[in-house]
Structure 1
Amino acid sequence: MKKLLIALSLFLSFSASAQKTERPLVQFSGMIINSDSNTVVPYTNLTNISYNNRVVSCDYQGYFSFVAHEKDSIRVSSVGYLTQIVVIPEHISSKSYILKIKLKAEAINLPLVRVFPWASADEFKRDFLAMKFADDDLAIAAKNLSRGSVIAMARTLPHDGQTNQIMNLQGMHDNLVHMGSGPTNPLLNPIAWGSLIRSIIRGDKSRQSDSN
């Protein structure tokens, strides 16, 4: 009987001390935001390291709410941000603690990585020797001023004012010459045939010089 009384008194003392050390419950709520841009940080983990490492995650809008104790330490962690420790204060009269937690972005310096598209040095040497380099300014200018390029541009570009004036004057002169009679047929003009033959000969010579 005496042992039973001793055990009962010890149990009552332990229960009384436990009630005295039990911290009040608090409804801990808030929002997680980025300290630089003030945008929400969704799905952040909040770990109560003072109460069995209980983990709670906020929603996609950065909002969280869970029950904790006064003086509990809450670890706030998210990928790409520095981890913070938040301590719930004691003697909260409203039994509700609301906090806006600002996380700072973590800058991670990655090591230098060099990426080579060749599996070996021999493949690099082969591709380098087969590489075609772009023409320099002198080669580009020579191509643009070649006879073929000039003729192609002359066929596509419109006439300037001087050329149009010369063509109009030539047309007016031909009309005055042939006034009162029909225009002459160039096929019956020996001078025109001579000019045609000379132009053909000049063209053959220029083509031969270009081929050489």
Structure 2
Amino acid sequence: MKFNYHFVIATLFMFLGYSSYSQERKILQFSGIVETVSSGLPVGYTTITNESFRNEAHMANNEGFFSFVAHVGDTIRFTSVGYETYKFVVPEISGDRFSTAIVMKNLIVELPMVTPYPWASIEEFNIAFMNLEVNSDNVIRAKRNMSKESIDAMAAVMPRSAEEMHNYNVNENHRGLSNKVINQRFANPLLNPFAWGSLIQQISKGKQGSKKLDY
């Protein structure tokens, strides 16, 4: 196994550079919370980049809280989708801990006005315009749409709605019950007016017959 001298040398220079950079400026624990300028709600998962130290990247949690090691004078960039980029310079303090609130503005982008058209090109618009029936007004179109042929064609392909099916079933049940009551009424001779008429005629004939027998 060959020993990689180039890797060791690069790592050594990187360590020395970091040590010299750290010795020049004070190290502190940089913490805070990212929130919106309008409502004060936290901006979760904000990307935080230390532009002054190798673009070291960090991320806030879902509540907008962050905490990492930085140096005095570092420029920290805060970016999030839908918000303007915000930069903050770590100030000089007496202690080794610094906390602050980062307030980000909502990004408002005004789009140019767009007028939608149902045609893909000017050529298609010209063709559609030339094929317009200028002499056909609303009354003629309404009569054409309400014609028997048009209604029959729509009825053949249009399914019945739930309300229509319900009304149809209610009417059919009512019609069936009505017919059943009528049939039962005429099946019972006591409820049949024709049967009562025949009975009265028979009684009258019986009385007349009895009077003839008395003479």
TM-score (norm 1): 0.48
